Amino acid sequence: MSEPIRRGVVAALWTPTDAAGRLIETALADHLSFLRSAKVHGVLALGSTGEFVHLAEADRIHLLHKAVELGGGLPVLANVSDVSPAVACRIAKAAADAGCAGIAVLPPWYFPLSQDDQLEFFLRVADAADLPVCLYNFPERTGNRIALGTIAAFGARARLVAVKQSGAEWAYHQELIALGREKDFSVFTGADTRFAEALALGCSGCISGLANVLPEALVEVFEASASGADPSVPMSLLERAGTLCGSVNFPLDVAAAMRARGFEAGEPKQAISAETAVKCAQLTHDLRLLFQGAGLP
């Protein structure tokens, strides 16, 4: 097992699958090799970008084993989230068996959930994994926000090493950072197009969808923050890419970006219309021009 990921650029790993939903292992291996050469600090497997909700339990577990096997020592954080506590616990146990560096966990979604019940869910999953935990707050996706008190209570009883903050509530970063300093956990932002701003606030890093295709820019921003250098050039590239990606719904935009950078993205896991397919192709074209203009291979 690797050391827990507490800082840096973590790529929210894309999951390339074929038309039958099977993992394309050669594509995953190529992509992990690229991310490792770009010096990212780890990957999050089965995150929102990885479209874990479209994958069966066995397929998720298979991916975790392959990500560790093919990652060449790159630390793998496993998102084990599920609406079912039993499923989440089984995947958490599998993450430990696979050699993952830690687990990330969202609150269950669809049904409303009290903070006490969120805490119970998180504790059961953490106990099943016996690994360092990153709580993953993304209320726009789950409908259930993780409150500061729940995070503090979890940290008092389990191995909390980080919190990932995603979504529209930017100001929550500051509250999380303050609590993290008090309770000794890191805060990662999901807002990769505001990465420099997040680092200036005190975030320890980002867990990023754009890191699949622009890891060099994100690593440059992270290193600039540490050295006091100007991050404006790589941030400009990230912002322009983010603006272009707004033309297609997430996470189809990530698939288009993967193709623009020359990677095999696989087949869509969801049903998409002919109109959406055209938009995705146009986005790939536009991003390819952006990447070429920036001198990226």
CATH number at residue 205: 3.20.20.70
- What domain range includes position 102? 8-228
The burial class, CB within 10 Å (0-12 / 13-18 / 19+), for 35 is: buried
Is residue 286 a part of any domain in this protein? no
Is residue 165 a part of any domain in this protein? yes
Is residue 35 a part of any domain in this protein? yes
* Per-residue tens of pLDDT for the chain, all 297 residues: 568 899 999 999 999 999 999 999 999 999 999 999 999 999 999 999 999 999 999 999 999 999 999 999 999 999 999 999 999 999 999 999 999 999 999 999 999 999 999 999 999 999 999 999 999 999 999 999 999 999 999 999 999 999 999 999 999 999 999 999 999 999 999 999 999 999 999 999 999 999 999 999 999 999 999 999 999 999 999 999 999 999 999 999 999 999 999 999 999 999 999 999 999 999 999 999 999 999 998
Is residue 160 a part of any domain in this protein? yes
| Number of structural domains found in the chain | 1
Signed CA dihedral, 208, 10, 67, 48: sign only: negative
- Region of 103 (left: φ > 0; alpha: ψ -120 to 50; beta: rest) is beta
The helix-helix angle for 172-183 and 148-155 (nearest 10°) equals 20
| Token pair belonging to 85 | 């506590």
The amino acid at residue 285 is H
Is residue 80 a part of any domain in this protein? yes
pTM of the model: 0.96
Is residue 88 a part of any domain in this protein? yes
Cα 195 to chain center, whole Å? Answer: 14
Is residue 104 a part of any domain in this protein? yes
Is residue 233 a part of any domain in this protein? no
